[in-house]
């Protein structure tokens, strides 16, 4: 006779990742589609919307007209706001964004602290408490010298505000400087009710182990995150860093090659096949507008057919000219 409980617990199926794509479409029509979890427009020229699922990202694009970035799930989506936070949820997935003005909150350190405190408090009330991916966009990221650089201030504030937010391990993340209002901080995240698997790059020192020369507080992120069903690798901002040092100063072509080598190393570390395809959208953040055409040519030559959105953004180290992040679907 078989022993056991009458209603045994059955492990849930791993959550299939949201579908991420770039699309030339109208904001209102795309938000009206079933399963729209989040939608992003880029630059000041994109339409505004009060829908909590929509974020007008402060980064300008080199693509004209600019596509929207769309996240979709296969279930109904609910959404709302909580103070400065805007959120949506569906199918075990959670999108949350916050936008703050540093002038209203005591400067860059205090504002980053507040943003992460509020995100932490909100996510703690939800079933989807595994934060898998975070994006941070701040103005004038490289202004200031030494420990006074604004990016280092952001890292100080983020660490102070996160508390035990990432007690299970850091998420994948990107931090880029925008060219809009220098006091504007935008942070948004993707969380799930199931954990992912962190992936590091054997060619690089883990970011949270960087030596003191990079600031009082090392950056707090994993190099990539395999989402719960192992169907997508969410790739953090990746640049020409080997070990912990920036490589190929002032050489855009060499930085692009090194960045691609690091991306391939991440795929190998995650146990994925080499290369990217038409279902794997990437973003390239380009420091100097004059370099955009060369970056586009490089991506079209080395990654033909891969959707790539080029954005005007400053990298967290002033000597780095380009950074790439994105999604690699299995």
| Direct distance between the N- and C-terminal alpha carbons of the chain, in angstroms, rounded to an integer | 43
- Rounded to 10 degrees, the C-alpha dihedral 51/154/58/21 comes to -70
- Active-site residue identified among 60, 102, 258, 323: 323
Instruction: Confirm if 123 and 181 have CB atoms less than 8 A apart.
Output: no
Q: How wide is the angle at C-alpha 242 spanned by C-alphas 259 and 275, nearest 5°?
A: 35
| Angle at alpha carbon of residue 58, lines to 54 and 63, rounded to 5° | 90
323 given a catalytic annotation: yes
Q: Which of 41, 26, 16, 12 is nearest to 229 (CA)?
A: 16
CA 15 to chain centre: 19
Residue 169, phi then psi, degrees to nearest 5? 130, 155
CA distances from 65 to 1, 45, 46, 125, 226 (A): 68, 10, 10, 39, 32
With a CB cutoff of 8 Å and minimum separation 6, the contacts of 326 are: 235, 276, 280, 281, 282, 283
Annotated catalytic residues are 323
């Amino acid at each position: 006779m078989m022993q056991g409980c009458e209603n045994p617990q059955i492990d849930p199926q791993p959550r299939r990742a949201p579908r991420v794509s770039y699309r030339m479409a109208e904001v209102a029509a795309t938000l009206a589609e079933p399963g729209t979890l989040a939608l992003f427009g880029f630059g000041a020229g994109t339409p505004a919307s009060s829908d909590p699922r929509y974020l007008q990202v402060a980064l300008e694009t080199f693509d004209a007209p600019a596509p929207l970035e769309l996240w979709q799930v296969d279930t109904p989506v609910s959404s709302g706001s909580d103070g400065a936070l805007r959120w949506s949820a569906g199918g075990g997935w959670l999108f949350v964004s916050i936008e703050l003005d540093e002038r209203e909150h005591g400067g860059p350190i205090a504002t980053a602290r507040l943003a992460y405190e509020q995100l932490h408090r909100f996510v703690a009330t939800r079933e989807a408490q595994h934060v898998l991916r975070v994006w941070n966009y701040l103005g004038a990221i490289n202004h200031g010298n030494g420990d006074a650089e604004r990016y280092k201030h952001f890292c100080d504030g983020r660490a102070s505000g996160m508390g035990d937010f990432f007690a299970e391990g850091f998420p994948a993340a990107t931090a880029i400087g925008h060219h809009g209002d220098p006091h504007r901080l935008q942070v948004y995240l993707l969380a799930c009710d199931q954990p992912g698997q962190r992936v590091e790059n054997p060619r690089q020192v883990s970011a949270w182990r960087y030596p003191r020369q990079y600031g009082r507080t090392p950056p707090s992120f994993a190099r990539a995150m395999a989402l719960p069903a192992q169907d997508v690798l969410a790739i953090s901002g990746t640049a020409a860093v080997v070990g912990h040092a920036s490589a190929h100063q002032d050489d855009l072509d060499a930085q692009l090659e090194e960045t691609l080598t690091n991306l391939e190393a991440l795929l190998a570390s995650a146990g994925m096949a080499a290369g990217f395809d038409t279902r794997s959208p990437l973003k390239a953040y380009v420091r100097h507008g004059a370099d955009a055409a060369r970056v586009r040519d490089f991506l079209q030559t080395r990654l033909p057919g891969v959707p790539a959105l080029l954005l005007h953004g400053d990298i967290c180290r002033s000597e780095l000219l380009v950074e790439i992040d994105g999604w690699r679907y299995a």
